[in-house]
């Protein structure tokens, strides 16, 4: 065990964790409002990555506008698909909706594969030198991704804290019946939450793809980490998702540095199992039994 | 051509076993095993490692698949059965991913992405069509036996408890049933059957690799079970045969239409399977063989 790679692993972990927090917030928010795990998140990450890549390489959009497009594309497609294919199954129960969302995500990922094949593609990025501070390397694009993720999280916090929608959403997550009694429209809240959640997954997928590659497996690469972040933080808790994502980012990077890059996702799975066994409510979640 | 038909009938019997494994878990108890393909893979690898690498007798293979599937099923459910059912869905989905990661990377054990070739079968492989017919009969008989077993269990008092848990877990536990134990038993039964199917699959095709165990298989099997009826073994079985027939027909159609590349044909098939699952869930939720109302036993 060598300690000289530890600072780099921790820095990488914090950066990866901050980016992971974006889709993890999306997943956990949808769970909080809709009461089922929506497995469309993987497909949404893939769609976001491709949408961003298309406008970046095809229309010359900057990285900043490309991730905005990724958010909007995933929000619109995600909401439309959820309303058409998943929500009508509400009467059959939460698990049926979860299965349907998985089926839909297979459909969406294969639509992407149909049009773009399995080839790896890359965003159009300037070639830049990594900055080295006290022996730790920082990629300029990683730092930009970090900034975007932090800005997104700050805006979500502001929206939830200070807007009417934010209060309504927190109220329905807390107690849907009471919220309805107080005049919160559940359908509107559900729509906005799904659009926001799916958009965040799209944006997260784009950020991941900027750092790696654009291909139909973007979502699959993210899926288990998102689950782990949300479960570790406490399913349904937004601050929990952030805390969970930062921890998962660090755990995964430590696994990569000290064990094997192949076992990055296996480490996340182990965290899920351990959390559910010993502290199922997660770091910041409510009771779950 | 004859060999091809017999081959597909064998594959259909294996899919039927997988679909049957969803009956006690999903149809009866209302738990979701989204990592079905993981248990399928575990069974295949357990059987292959013991009968090929360790040189154990071939008949141990299916037993190893059953046992390995059951043990892993118990491990996966230990942490989640006391929690809400959604947690099981997340954990099983992750489980299948991790099985594939481990199978791809522990090269000393599993051969990595190259997989394991030359897995032995109970029957002499050199006999061509005879081998396929023998294996088809064996797999179909096994499928029938498991189907009858499930049907029997569903009708038993044990099956009644499962349905009580599915319909209202609180009522079931108020009635004094240890719901967690019943759920674990049902899940282990399903995972064992999936493991058995995996052992048969590897032994029949003689070759397994991580890429054969993609999450798509789970979707296939859910489609088969939903379309046929997930509460009854006969429904799941019928659904599986229909699914395999459709997959093969669509393969031919894909070859006839030259406008699309191989990747496009493959993705179109998966799109149709995914869409079909959503449509069946929505418009034909009970499937072909709907659940029969059971009378309460006379007091």
How confident is the model at residue B27, as a pLDDT? 92
Collect all residues of chain B within an 8 Å Cβ-Cβ radius of residue A104: 274, 278
pLDDT above 70: percentage of residues in chain A: 98
Contact B94 A269 (CB under 8 A): yes
Residue with tokens 């079970």: B225
Q: How confident is the model at residue A182 (pLDDT cuts 50, 70, 90)?
A: confident
CB atoms within 10 A of CB B113: 13
pLDDT at A117 over 50: yes
pLDDT, tens digit, 9 for 90 and up, residues A79-93: 999 999 999 999 888
Distance CA B26, CA A31 (A): 21
Q: Is residue B285 part of a domain?
A: no
Query: Looking at the partner chain, which of A100, A110, A231 has a beta carbon nearest the beta carbon of B270?
Result: A110
Phi/psi of residue B91, nearest 5 degrees: -65, -45
Q: Which residues pair with A131 in a beta bridge?
A: A138
Q: Percentages helix, strand, coil for chain B, rounded to the nearest 5?
A: 75, 0, 20
Q: What's the DSSP call for residue A122?
A: -
Q: Is residue A100 part of a domain?
A: yes
How confident is the model at residue A287, as a pLDDT? 52
pLDDT at A155 over 90: yes
**For B189-195, what is the mean pLDDT?**
97
A-B C-beta contacts closer than 8 Å? 135
How confident is the model at residue B297, as a pLDDT? 61
Q: Is residue B237 part of a domain?
A: no
Among A130-134, B7-11, B56-60, B244-248, the least confident range: A130-134
pLDDT at A228 over 60: yes
Structural domain range at position B209: 2-214
Model ipTM?
Answer: 0.89
Query: Looking at the partner chain, which of A106, A114, A224 has a beta carbon nearest the beta carbon of B94?
Result: A224
Q: Is residue A101 part of a domain?
A: yes
How confident is the model at residue A289, as a pLDDT? 42
Of B297 and B109, more confident: B109
pLDDT, tens digit, 9 for 90 and up, residues B65-88: 999 999 999 998 888 888 888 889
Q: Does A3 touch chain B (CB under 8 A)?
A: no
CB atoms within 10 A of CB B154: 22
Token readout for A137 is 């390397």
Phi/psi of residue A138, nearest 5 degrees: -125, 120
Q: Is residue B233 part of a domain?
A: no
pTM above 0.95, yes or no: no
How confident is the model at residue A286, as a pLDDT? 66
pLDDT above 70: percentage of residues in chain B: 98
How confident is the model at residue B285, as a pLDDT? 83
CB atoms within 10 A of CB B134: 17
pLDDT above 90: percentage of residues in chain A: 63
Q: Is residue B14 part of a domain?
A: yes
pLDDT at A256 over 50: yes
Q: Is residue B33 part of a domain?
A: yes
Q: Is residue A238 part of a domain?
A: no
Collect all residues of chain B within an 8 Å Cβ-Cβ radius of residue A89: 281-282
Classify residue A183 by burial, with Cβ atoms within 10 Å: 0-12, 13-18, 19+: exposed
Helix (H, G, I), strand (E, B) or coil at B116: strand
Q: Is residue A281 part of a domain?
A: no
Contact B79 A276 (CB under 8 A): yes
Q: Does B15 touch chain A (CB under 8 A)?
A: no
Q: Is residue B22 part of a domain?
A: yes
pLDDT, tens digit, 9 for 90 and up, residues A3-13: 788 889 999 99
Total count of domains within chain A: 1
Structural domain range at position A213: 24-222
Total count of domains within chain B: 1
How confident is the model at residue A55, as a pLDDT? 95
Collect all residues of chain B within an 8 Å Cβ-Cβ radius of residue A103: 219, 222-223, 274-275, 277-278, 281
CA B118 to chain centre: 23
Contact B93 A39 (CB under 8 A): yes
Of B160 and B285, more confident: B160
Strand bridging mode A136-138 / A131-133: antiparallel
How confident is the model at residue A127, as a pLDDT? 79
């Amino acid at each position: 065990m060598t300690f000289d790679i530890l600072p780099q692993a921790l820095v990488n972990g914090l950066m990866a964790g901050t980016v992971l927090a974006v889709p993890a917030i999306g997943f956990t928010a949808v769970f909080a409002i809709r009461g089922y795990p929506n497995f469309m998140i993987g497909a949404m990450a893939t769609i976001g990555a491709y949408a961003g890549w298309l406008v970046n390489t095809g229309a010359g959009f900057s990285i900043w506008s490309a991730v905005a497009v990724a958010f909007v594309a995933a929000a619109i497609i995600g909401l439309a698909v959820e309303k058409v294919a998943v929500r009508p199954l509400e009467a059959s129960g939460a698990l049926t909706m979860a299965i349907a969302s998985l089926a839909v995500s297979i459909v969406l990922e294969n639509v992407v594969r149909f049009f773009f094949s399995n080839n790896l593609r890359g965003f159009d990025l300037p070639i830049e030198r990594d900055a080295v501070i006290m022996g730790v390397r920082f990629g300029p694009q990683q730092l930009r991704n970090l900034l975007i993720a932090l800005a997104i999280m700050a805006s979500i916090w502001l929206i939830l804290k200070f807007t009417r929608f934010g209060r309504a959403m927190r109220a329905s997550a807390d107690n849907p019946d009471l919220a309805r009694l107080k005049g919160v429209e559940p359908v509107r809240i559900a729509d906005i939450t799904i659009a926001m959640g799916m958009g965040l997954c799209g944006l997260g997928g784009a950020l991941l793809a900027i750092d790696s590659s654009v291909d139909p497996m973007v979502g699959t690469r993210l899926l288990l980490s998102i689950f782990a972040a949300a479960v570790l933080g406490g399913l349904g808790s937004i601050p929990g998702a952030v805390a969970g994502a930062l921890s998962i980012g660090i755990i995964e990077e430590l696994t990569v540095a000290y064990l094997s890059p192949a076992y990055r996702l296996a480490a996340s799975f182990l965290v899920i199992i351990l959390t559910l066994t010993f502290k199922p409510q997660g770091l910041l979640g409510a009771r779950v039994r | 051509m004859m060999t091809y038909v017999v081959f597909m009938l064998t594959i259909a019997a294996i899919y039927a076993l997988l679909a049957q494994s969803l009956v006690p878990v999903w149809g009866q108890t209302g738990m979701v095993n989204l990592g079905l393909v993981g248990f399928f893979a575990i069974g295949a690898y357990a059987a292959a490692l013991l009968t090929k690498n360790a040189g154990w007798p071939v008949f141990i293979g299916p037993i190893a698949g059953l046992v390995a599937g059951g043990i892993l099923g118990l491990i996966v459910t230990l942490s989640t059965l006391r929690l809400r059912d959604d947690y099981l869905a997340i954990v099983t989905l992750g489980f299948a991913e991790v099985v594939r990661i481990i199978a791809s990377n522990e090269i000393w054990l599993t051969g990595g992405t190259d997989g394991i070739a030359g897995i032995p079968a109970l029957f002499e492989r050199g006999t061509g069509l005879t081998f396929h017919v023998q294996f088809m009969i064996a797999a179909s008989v096994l499928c029938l036996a498991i189907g009858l077993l499930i049907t029997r269990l569903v009708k038993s008092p044990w099956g009644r408890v499962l349905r009580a848990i599915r319909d209202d877990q609180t009522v079931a536990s108020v009635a004094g049933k240890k719901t967690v134990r019943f759920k674990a038993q049902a899940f282990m039964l399903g995972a064992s059957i999936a493991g058995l199917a995996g052992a048969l699959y590897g032994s029949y095709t003689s070759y397994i690799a991580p890429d054969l165990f993609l999450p798509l298989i789970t979707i296939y099997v859910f489609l088969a079970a939903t379309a046929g009826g997930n509460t009854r073994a006969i429904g799941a079985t019928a659904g599986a045969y229909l699914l395999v027939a459709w997959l093969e027909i669509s393969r031919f159609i894909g070859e006839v239409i030259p406008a699309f590349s191989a990747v496009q044909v493959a993705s179109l098939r998966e799109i149709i399977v995914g869409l079909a699952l959503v449509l069946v869930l929505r418009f034909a939720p009970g499937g072909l063989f709907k659940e029969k109302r059971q009378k309460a036993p006379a007091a």
